[in-house]
Amino acid sequence: MKKLTDNYNRVHDYLRISLTDKCNLNCLYCNPANRSKTLLPKGLFLSNKEIIRLINVFVKEFGFRKIRFTGGEPLVRSDIFELLEEVNQLKKAYDFEVGLTTNGTLLNGNLSKLKEFGVDKLNISLDTLDVEKFKFITTRDNIDSVVNAIKAAKSLNFPSLKVNVVIIKNINDGEIVDFVKFAIENELNVRLIEFMPFGNNSWEKYGLVSYSEMFKKVKENFEVEEVVKDQNSVAKDFKIKGTKGTISFISSISDHFCDNCNRMRITADGKMKLCLFSTGKDDINLKQLTASQSLTDEEIGEIIEKSLFGKALKHPGVDELMRLEKNNMLSIGG
């Protein structure tokens, strides 16, 4: 089995698939102000059949070992459990990990089913522990459903459970210590993520709290010990001494990890993106390819392999990213 390698000898074995660009929240860092104009008609989404075929290509042709489903909010997709059931059958045959990234609001009542259908890694977004700030960030009033879902997921012993927190200056950066306490109290991994510039998400208004600033605040209040990580890990991981909680930092902007990138991304409408910050000009339409009856899985794999050689060494700088107005988290899938 050949490895999927780019022009800089980075081996890719991690696939992120967006199941929808729709979401039941309206988070200020994710949904652009004009998001209603970007939502796709249902018929343009990848079907379950197309998704399964693409997973087959990446797993069988290139030995991918991680598949993660994102959105939008993946649980708003009505046929997600039919999809996960099929993916679980493939997983049993080819031994790969399955992850899901969710805002947590629709998890209650669905957690056992997710685990039954082979979801190993569950990432839940929670950007504040304050009721009023939650309303401001998301424009919704259901923080309790997210916190309760996190605790319920913890009780079900998912092999990997992480809480994602996007830290935004002058909004929730005062809660860094509170989130470390939350990690300790619930024996969780909490990941503090740098706010990234995407089209129309007001990054220039709120601005960046860097990894070094976040880490300084943690070090002032807790004793931590660095955890040895996998070479492809995007996070800087730390144990909080004397506890079972861990804290991680994702420094996408201030200290990028492009040198070790092993990720491929597929949007909800089937475009393959070589980078989270892709401009779109190098996208391949995988939905179109999988719909073709004349192409074999091996031939589709060859097209993907050839395309990967166009991947840049690293993502553009902040000034350029801010000019990419059509580049938003909903359409890409995070």
- The mean per-residue pLDDT over the stretch 261-290 comes to 87
- Report cis status (omega within 30 of 0) of the bond before 174: no
pLDDT tens figures, 98-111 = 999 999 999 999 99
Provide the pLDDT confidence category of residue 9 given band limits of 50, 70 and 90. very high
For the cut 80, the answer to whether the pLDDT of residue 217 exceeds it is yes
Per-residue model confidence (pLDDT) at position 35: 46
Average confidence (pLDDT) over 206-224 = 93
DSSP 60: I
In a domain, 116, yes or no: yes
% of the chain residues with pLDDT over 70: 87
What is the rounded distance in angstroms from the CA atom of residue 111 to the CA atom of residue 231? 30
Residue 121 lies in a domain: yes
In a domain, 78, yes or no: yes
- Tell me the pLDDT band of 179, cut-offs 50, 70 and 90: very high
Mean pLDDT, range 194-217, rounded to an integer? 79
Domain extent, residue 57, equals 4-165+257-332
Residue 279 has pLDDT above 70, yes or no: no
Q: What is the CATH number of the domain that holds 13?
A: 3.20.20.70
Q: What residues are paired with 265 via a beta bridge? A: 16, 273
pLDDT at 218 over 90: yes
Asked if the structure places residue 243 within a domain, the reply is no
The answer to which of 58-62, 122-126, 204-208, 239-243 has the lowest mean pLDDT is 204-208
CA dist list (Å): 202 to 233, 318, 322: 28, 13, 9
Number of domains in the chain: 1
The per-residue pLDDT for 317 is 59
Residue 321 pLDDT more than 90? no
Could you tell me the pLDDT band of residue 86, with boundaries at 50, 70 and 90?
very high
Count CB-CB contacts under 10 A for residue 1: 7
Residue 36: per-residue pLDDT: 47
Instruction: Answer yes or no: is pLDDT of 324 > 90.
Output: no
**193: helix, strand or coil:** strand
Average pLDDT over the chain, rounded to an integer = 89
170 in a structural domain: no
Residue 211 belongs to some domain of the structure: no
The answer to the question of residue 309 being in a domain is yes
Residues 300-319 have pLDDT tens digits of 999 999 999 888 888 665 55
Mention every residue, 6+ apart, whose C-beta is less than 8 A from residue 17.
Answer: 46, 51, 54, 55, 67, 68, 69, 70, 265, 266, 333
Integer Cα distance of 95 and 105 in angstroms: 29
In a domain, 115, yes or no: yes
3-state class of 265 per DSSP? Answer: strand
